[in-house]
Amino acid sequence: MRVLIVEDDEMIGAAVRRGLEGEGYAPDWVQDGVSAARALRDVAYDLVILDLGLPRRGGLEVLAELRRRRDAVPVLVVTARDAVSDRVRGLDAGADDYLVKPFDLDELAARVRALLRRKGGRAEPLLEIGDLALDPAAHEVRLAGAPVALSAREFALLRILMEHPGRPVSRAELEDRLYGWGREVESNAVEVHIHALRRKLGSQWIRNLRGVGWLIPERT
């Protein structure tokens, strides 16, 4: 899941990035409105966390441009405590939710999950294929009812595959969604995680289509 953090405050930006990485997301972080607009044109993000008070170009303007292009990426607006009018304007301009600074990272993570769930159009937060179940909110995977311990990346990778059962996902797409920009990705990083997942779940769960990518069968 690729998330764009737009935040000019170093401490908040770094904390949000760390928090999201810990949850298995691939965050990119930019610190002004012009860079944000550029990033949003270049990359198909799953979610944007947008501070409104930004140098070079305000967050509301960035948001308005995004919606003018009919880009429906979920946007979580972050505002200062007293800026009630900003919150209202943010929601009017097409934000999906907002958080007031200072906020708790657990709350941020919960809002992010809720927005991603809504974006996926799933009323049920649980992803289920056969007896394999992934609960994004609880960060939990169960196979035939028994919990399976996964790393944050393994969890993120499994989630991507389970969102589209039967559809192969290419290495480029997986790398793109698992890692942000400027991250050195080892050439075999995806294989390493796939290997670990197959070992933990059973190899029948993840099929490799040579030269195409990996998929989870709709039924096993």
Q: Which residues bind Ca ion (CB under 5 A)?
A: 8, 51, 53
Nearer to Ca ion, 98 or 179 (CB): 98
- Count of alpha carbons within 13 Å of 151, Cβ hemisphere only? 11
Q: How far is the CB of 102 from Ca ion (least distance, A)?
A: 12
Q: How far is the CB of 99 from Ca ion (least distance, A)?
A: 13
> What separation in angstroms does the CA of 180 have from each of 4, 52, 72, 110, 164?
9, 22, 20, 21, 21
Q: How far is the CB of 152 from Ca ion (least distance, A)?
A: 28
Nearer to Ca ion, 51 or 154 (CB): 51
Nearer to Ca ion, 12 or 105 (CB): 12
Q: How far is the CB of 32 from Ca ion (least distance, A)?
A: 10
Please state, in angstroms and rounded to a whole number, the distance separating the CA atoms of residues 199 and 196.
5
Q: Closest-CB residue for Ca ion?
A: 53
Please state, in angstroms and rounded to a whole number, the distance separating the CA atoms of residues 208 and 93.
43
Nearer to Ca ion, 28 or 51 (CB): 51
